[in-house]
Structure 1
Amino acid sequence: MGNYFSIIIGIIYLIGVFIIPKWRQKKVNQDWKFFELLWFSICFIIYVIFLEVQLHTYYFLIPSSFLLIFLFSYFKEKRRLANGLLFNLFLIVGMTYLGSLLVRTMNPLLIVLAGITSVFLLLLLLIGLYALLVFLYWNAIVVMRKEGHSLANLLTLLLAIGLTVFLIFNYYSDKVLPQWASLLFGILPLSMFYFSIVFYNFLTISIIYQFNQPKYNKDFIIVLGSGLIDGKTVPPLLGKRIEKAIQFYKAQSNATLNPPKILMSGGKGDDEHIAESLAMKNYALEKGIPEEDILVETNSKNTLENMKFSKEIMEQDFGGTDFRALFTTNNFHLFRAGLFAKMANLKADGIGARTAFYFLPNAFLREFIAIVMMHKRRHLIVCGLIAVMMILFALAEFFLVTSR
C-alpha cells in the first residue's frame, strides 16, 4: 500500500505542478512561484504524515507544533524579527524529525533528500567561507563598477577584507599568542557567530515577507521615496517602486473596477530642486495614471516620516482610520519599511519591486546594519556578556599558568 500511495501522491503533485502556472495565467496576479512552493510543501507534509501513520506513531506533531507557532506569530503580526527565529527553529526541529523518520523507515525519497542535503552541508563546511569570500570580492567589484565608490556601496568589500584579516589572524593566533590571549581573541569569533545568527534570522524573515499576497481591496498604495538624479529626475531604483505600485493599481482596477489612490511620499532633500514626491507624481502621470488618483506627501525626510506623514494624509482623505493601505519599495528594503510602518502605528504590509541581483548583497548588508542599530542596546548587552565570559576564562587561564 505504501508504494501505491507514493505513486498516487507523486502523480497528484506533478499534475499540480503543471496546472498551477496555467491557473495563475488566468488571474490578475500571474505570479506562480509562491503557489508551487506551497503545493510542494502540502504534498510533502501529507506524504510524511502517511509514513507516520504506517508506523503507528505521531512524532510529526512535534515539528507541526513549531510550524503552528510560527504561523500564528507571523499572521498575527508579519513585521516581527522574532518570526525569522521561529521559522528557523521549525526548520531545525523539522530536519531533526526527518532524520529520525529516515532511520525508522529507510524511505527512498527521504534517502534522496538526505543525500542532497548532506552534500550541500558538506560543501558548506569545506568551502563555504572561502566561497563566500570569493563571492564578496566579486560582488564588490561589480557594485563599484556599476554604482560608484560611495561608502554605502563598499559594504561587501569591507566585509570581505574583514573576514580575510580574521582568517589570517585566526590561523596564526594559536602559534603566536599564549593561551590566555587566544581566549581574549575568542571574543571576536563568538561575537561574529552571534551576529551571523542574527543576520540569518533577519534574512529569513526578509525573504518570507517577500511572499505577501495582498488582496485587491486597498484604498491607498504608498510609494516610498528615495533620492533623485540631479535633484529632479526619478532614478531607476525609485522608478521600479512606482511601477510596482502602478502594476498593483491596474491589477486591482481590472479585478474590482475600484482602483486605490497612489500616495507618493518623499520630501525635498538639501541637494534636490523639487520634493521627491512631486517628481514621482510626474513619473506616474507619464505612465498614464489619472491625476485625481495621485496624492503627494512632501515633508518626510526618512522612512519613518514617510509612514507617519502618509498616515495623516490618508486619514484626512479617507475621513477616518479604517482604510486599507499597502506600501511599495524595493525588495531589499521591504521588511525594514514594514518595521517603520509598525512604529508609525500604520497597519500596512508591503510589496517589493525587484532589484538587480548584483545590488542585493550590498543592499541587504546595509539593511542589516540599520536593523542592528535599531536594536543596538540588545546587541551591546549580548556582546558585553560574551566579552565578560571570555575575559573571565582568560584570567583563569593566566593565573593557572602563573601559579604552576
Structure 2
Amino acid sequence: MLVIGCILLVIFLFLFLKEKRRISLSYLLTTSIACIAIWIIYFIGSNNSSNIIGITLLLLIFGLIPLGVISFGIYLLFNGKLMLQKEGKRLANLLSAAVGLVVLSIIGMGIYFFVSTYNPRTHMYYIGLLLLTGYFSFIFVSYLFYAIFYHFQKVKYTPDFILILGSGLIGDKVPPLLASRLDKGMNEYIKYDRKPKIIVSGGQGPDELVSEAFAMKQYLLAKGMKDQDILMEDKSTNTFQNMLFSKRIMDNVKQEHKSIFVTNNYHVFRASIYARMAELKCEGVGSQTARYYLPSAFLREYIGILVMYKWWHVLAVCLIIFMLTIV
C-alpha cells in the first residue's frame, strides 16, 4: 500500500505541475493519501498488536470514522435550519439539511439491519446502497479536499486582465455575495498597481432589470475606479460562457495575455475547470463567503461537478449495480 500510495502521489505531482485544473487530480490525491493512511494503520496494528498504546490508537482511529459521519449528518441538519433562518425559506436552502437527513437515515438503516433477522434480499439492497454511498462520498471528499487545496494556490505571475464573474442581482442592485467578488477584484487591481484591465462578466437574467456586468461596472465606478479600466462582457449566462466570451475580449485587446478570475472561494476550483475548457490561461482568486453558507455552497458545487462528468458517474453506477446482480 505504501508503494502504491507513493507512486500515485508522484503521478499527482507530475500532472499537477503540468495542469492543475483537472478533477482527476482530486481522485489521485485522495487515493494516494488513503493508501498511505491504510499502510500507517496496518503498521501500527502489526507492530503494536500486544501493545496497549497500539490497540488504543487503532480503536481511536476506527471509532472516529463512524462518529465523524454521524457528527457530519447532525451538523448538516443544523446548518440547513440556519440557512432557512438567514437566507429565507427556499427549496435551495434545504440542500444541506436534506443531505444530513440522508446520511443519518443510511446510518439508521444500517443499525436496523444489524439487529434484525437476516434477509438475503434486503441486506443485499442495503449493501448496494452502501456501495453507491461510498462511491459518491469518495467523489465528494476528493472534490472538497482538492477544491480547498486549490483555493490556497498562489498566483505567480502579473495578470493583464482581472475577470470578475457575475452572480444574481436583486433588481438592478449588487447583493452582498457579488459585492464580495467585486471588492476582492478591486483589491487585486490595486495589488498589481492598477495595471490590469478589469472585465466584469454576466448577462441579464429574467428577473434582473439590467445585466450583471452593467450593475457590476456601476458598483466599481462608485468605488472610484476609472471607466477606461473596466471592460464589460454582458452576454454570458453561465460560468463557461463567462470564460469563453471574456477570452474573446482579451484576445481582441491583447493577443498574448495572462489573467486571473475572481469568484467566491467555494466556486474557484469548478470555475477553473471551465477556464481550462475555454482554453483561457487563468488562475482563480476567491473572495470570502459567510461560514454558515459554505456547506450548502460546496454541496451545490459538488452537484455541479457530478453534472459536468455525468456520463462517467452513470457508467460507474451501472458497474456497481451489475456487480451486485452477478454476486
Q: State the TM-score, normalizing by the size of structure 1.
A: 0.73
Residues 131 and 200 of structure 1, relative CA distance in 2, 3 Å threshold: same
Report the AA paired with residue 262 of structure 1: I
Partner of 2:17: 75
Asked if the contact 1:216/1:252 (under 8 Å) is kept, the reply is no
Partner of 2:277: 343
SS of residue in 2 equivalent to 1:154: helix
Deviation digits for residues 369-401 of structure 1 (CA, Å, limit 9, x no counterpart):
1110111111111111111222233xxxxxxxx
Q: What RMSD over aligned residues (CA atoms) do the two structures have, in Å?
A: 2.8
Partner of 1:191: 132
Residues 67 and 117 of structure 1, relative CA distance in 2, 3 Å threshold: farther
Partner of 1:86: 28
The reply to whether residue 328 of structure 1 matches residue 269 of structure 2 is no
Distance 2:220 2:76 in 1: 36
Q: How do 1:273-312 residues align onto structure 2 when only pairs under 5 Å count?
A: 273-312=209-248
The alpha carbon displacement at 1:171 in A equals 2.9
Percent of aligned pairs with the same residue?
37
Distance 1:340 1:88 in 2: 22
Residues 300 and 131 of structure 1, relative CA distance in 2, 3 Å threshold: same
Deviation digits for residues 156-190 of structure 1 (CA, Å, limit 9, x no counterpart):
11112222333333333462672123213322111
Asked if the contact 2:184/2:262 (under 8 Å) is kept, the reply is yes
SS of residue in 2 equivalent to 1:186: helix
Asked if the contact 2:45/2:58 (under 8 Å) is kept, the reply is no
SS of residue in 1 equivalent to 2:262: strand
Partner of 1:212: 153
Deviation digits for residues 68-98 of structure 1 (CA, Å, limit 9, x no counterpart):
3222211211111111122223323444566
Stretches of structure 1 lacking an aligned partner (at least 5 in a row): 1-59, 107-111, 394-404
Residues 94 and 170 of structure 1, relative CA distance in 2, 3 Å threshold: closer
Distance 2:66 2:210 in 1: 53
Q: How do 1:41-60 residues align onto structure 2 when only pairs under 5 Å count?
A: none
Asked if the contact 2:203/2:237 (under 8 Å) is kept, the reply is yes
SS of residue in 1 equivalent to 2:192: helix
Query: Which has the higher Rg, Structure 1 or Structure 2?
Result: 1
Of 115-124 and 133-142, the range deviating more from structure 2: 115-124
User: Among residues 370, 375, 379, which one is paired with 2:309 in the alignment?
Assistant: 375
The reply to whether residue 221 of structure 1 matches residue 155 of structure 2 is no
Stretches of structure 2 lacking an aligned partner (at least 5 in a row): none
Residues 139 and 119 of structure 1, relative CA distance in 2, 3 Å threshold: farther
SS of residue in 2 equivalent to 1:136: helix
The alpha carbon displacement at 1:358 in A equals 0.8
Asked if the contact 1:226/1:266 (under 8 Å) is kept, the reply is yes
Asked if the contact 1:184/1:391 (under 8 Å) is kept, the reply is no
Report the AA paired with residue 143 of structure 2: F
Report the AA paired with residue 185 of structure 2: A
SS of residue in 1 equivalent to 2:107: helix
The alpha carbon displacement at 1:272 in A equals 0.8
Report the AA paired with residue 127 of structure 1: L
Q: State the TM-score, normalizing by the size of structure 2.
A: 0.89
Q: How do 1:28-177 residues align onto structure 2 when only pairs under 5 Å count?
A: 65-95=7-37, 121-173=61-113, 175=116
Distance 1:116 1:354 in 2: 40
Asked if the contact 1:183/1:391 (under 8 Å) is kept, the reply is no
User: Among residues 300, 316, 320, which one is paired with 1:366 in the alignment?
Assistant: 300
Residues 115 and 357 of structure 1, relative CA distance in 2, 3 Å threshold: farther
